[in-house]
């Protein structure tokens, strides 16, 4: 496992990450991808629960862990013990950022709340991710991403109107919260550059879900309209949908702009559609959405997927395949951009995973190692950061603190 400093944009920024599951650790992953030195604090023996999570495992090992813990250093530490809290406080005293996603009040109970930590490290930025945020009537309630997706209105918009709303096959709410926490943390770093003071970055998963609700709330406020489930399309946006192909696959086509629709009509051999009053304008196409989708689908069924996409590409009509993981990892575009990368790991062998986003031209991030074994960096961090001797570390191990 190659572990050399990442010379990315956040090189030299020290992060201590505590907590588990997805939202907080995803924030830590983003910071580590961009070069921050992230020390991941895990309970001794069991480690982060993400070491067990994932729909598919390899020899009993999570295949999610190598991604969400990549570029991080694993330190085992029992934060429920006085000595563990003391060590954590010393580590955080020389850190730039603390990332945590415990239930609000947990850090304060351990004497590790922001007010306590700022006495020795006034520039510390504390990124706090929780189900409902640090304030409000629900703040102390337990909350997971799935609950926040439902309460924040995301789930009610997914699926078809004649059946219960499904969930996406990913933890979207958690990932959104982690991304917003990373964004807020970077903003707080810039503010600290001017003021020298740290602050709390407070992200509720419900907040993150609400933040991507587009015009849903303002539509209701102004007109009383409630956005509903619409299956594979957005109402009034046409043609923009999944369309079947001759070889039993699906293509997604987005031709809802006037000029683009004209090019689509020409590609279909039906140029007259662009002048038809039912389809000539954006609003008209939205009004006749179903019949227009049906006409497009009749045409797409005449071509296999590859040929259909080639025709649409020549016509400059936005389109693409409905990819699964196999399609993604075989796509040359993703490979060339580094959106899909190969990572060598002692525990897992050669793994394919998503690359670093965003891409910076001068100080790009990198995936340097996959999520490490439990406690792999404990001795390294304690000796490097706190100057503990081998005997000190051995005693902490014997006492069950690490």
Catalytic residues: 174
Q: Which of 125, 10, 128, 119 is nearest to 72 (CA)?
A: 10
Q: Which of 180, 123, 126, 116 is nearest to 148 (CA)?
A: 180
CB 136 within 8 A of CB 206: no
How far apart, in whole angstroms, are the C-alpha atoms of residue 18 and residue 87? 13
How far apart, in whole angstroms, are the C-alpha atoms of residue 281 and residue 295? 17
E-state strands within 205-276: 240-244, 250-254
CB 29 within 8 A of CB 68: yes
**C-beta atoms surrounding 8 within 10 Å:** 21
How far apart, in whole angstroms, are the C-alpha atoms of residue 50 and residue 65? 6
How far apart, in whole angstroms, are the C-alpha atoms of residue 327 and residue 48? 31
DSSP state, residue 59: T
How far apart, in whole angstroms, are the C-alpha atoms of residue 170 and residue 154? 13
How far apart, in whole angstroms, are the C-alpha atoms of residue 162 and residue 231? 10
């Amino acid at each position: 496992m190659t572990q050399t400093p990442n010379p990315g944009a956040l090189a030299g920024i020290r992060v201590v990450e505590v907590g588990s599951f997805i939202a907080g650790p995803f924030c830590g992953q983003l910071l580590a991808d961009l070069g921050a030195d992230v020390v991941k604090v895990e309970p001794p023996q069991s480690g982060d629960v993400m070491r067990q999570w994932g729909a598919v495992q390899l020899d009993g090992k999570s295949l999610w862990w190598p991604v969400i813990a990549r570029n991080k250093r694993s330190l085992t530490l029992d934060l429920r013990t006085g000595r563990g809290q003391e060590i954590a406080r010393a580590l955080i005293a020389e850190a730039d950022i603390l990332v945590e996603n415990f239930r609000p009040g947990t850090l304060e109970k351990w004497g590790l709340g922001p007010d306590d930590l700022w006495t020795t490290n006034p520039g510390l930025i504390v990124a706090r991710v929780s189900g409902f945020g640090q304030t409000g009537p629900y703040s102390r309630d337990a909350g997971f991403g799935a609950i926040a997706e439902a309460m924040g209105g995301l789930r009610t918009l997914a699926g078809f109107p004649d059946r219960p709303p499904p969930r996406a096959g990913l933890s979207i709410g958690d990932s959104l919260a982690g991304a917003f926490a990373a964004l807020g943390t970077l903003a707080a770093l810039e503010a600290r550059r001017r003021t020298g003071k740290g602050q709390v970055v407070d992200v509720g998963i419900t907040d993150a879900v609400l933040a991507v609700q587009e015009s849903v709330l303002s539509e209701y406020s102004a007109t009383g309209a409630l956005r509903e489930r619409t299956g594979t399309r957005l109402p009034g946006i046409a043609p923009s949908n999944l369309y079947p192909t001759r070889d039993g696959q699906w293509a997604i086509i987005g031709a809802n702009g006037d000029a683009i629709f004209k090019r689509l009509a020409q590609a279909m051999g039906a140029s007259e559609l662009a002048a038809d009053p039912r389809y000539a304008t954006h609003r008209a196409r939205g009004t006749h959405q179903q019949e227009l989708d049906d006409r497009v689908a009749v045409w797409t069924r005449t071509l296999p997927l590859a040929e259909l996409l080639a025709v649409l590409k020549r016509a400059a009509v936005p389109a693409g395949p409905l990819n699964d993981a196999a399609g993604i990892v075989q796509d040359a575009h993703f490979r060339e951009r580094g959106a899909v990368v190969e990572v060598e790991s002692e525990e897992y062998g050669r793994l394919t995973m998503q690359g670093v986003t965003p891409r910076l031209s001068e100080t790009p991030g990198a995936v340097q190692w996959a999520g490490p074994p439990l406690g792999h960096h404990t001795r390294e961090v304690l000796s490097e950061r706190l100057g503990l001797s081998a005997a000190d570390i051995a005693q902490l191990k014997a006492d069950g603190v690490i």
